[in-house]
Amino acid sequence: MKLILTASILGLALAGSAFADAAAGKAVYMAKCKGCHAADGTGNPTIAKMLAVTLKPLGSKAVQAKSDADLKKDSTAGTGKMKPVKLTDAEANDVVAFLRTLK
């Protein structure tokens, strides 16, 4: 019984990202993320210099090794000097799907 319940919960948790749309995520990324992270995810050097940070390329192994949940949290809650970005749950899932295309 525990196994069925655990599998059901896990399935529901993964369902959000399973239906994510990378094309829609690209549109959201271009509107809300490109200014700092650049269109190709390599990072805007002017922003990095202004904030005195190193922006990791979003296609790097370090970023791509993060779980979808961690990427979603980083996007919506912010990380380091990055401010939170207001995204709906669906938009956040779509942005993560787009980030996965930057490998």
- Kindly list the structural domains of the chain, giving each domain's residue range(s) and its CATH number in brackets, ordered by start: 2-102 (1.10.760.10)
Are the CB atoms for 26 and 42 separated by under 8 Å? no
- Which positions of the chain have pLDDT values less than 70? 1-18
Q: Which two tokens stand for residue 98?
A: 């787009």
Average pLDDT of the chain is 89
Nearest to 92 by CA among 67, 75, 79: 75
Give Cα separations from 32 to 1, 11, 41 (angstroms): 44, 29, 12
Q: Which two tokens stand for residue 26?
A: 């690209």
Are the CB atoms for 81 and 56 separated by under 8 Å? no
Q: What is the pTM of this model?
A: 0.80
pLDDT at 77: 97
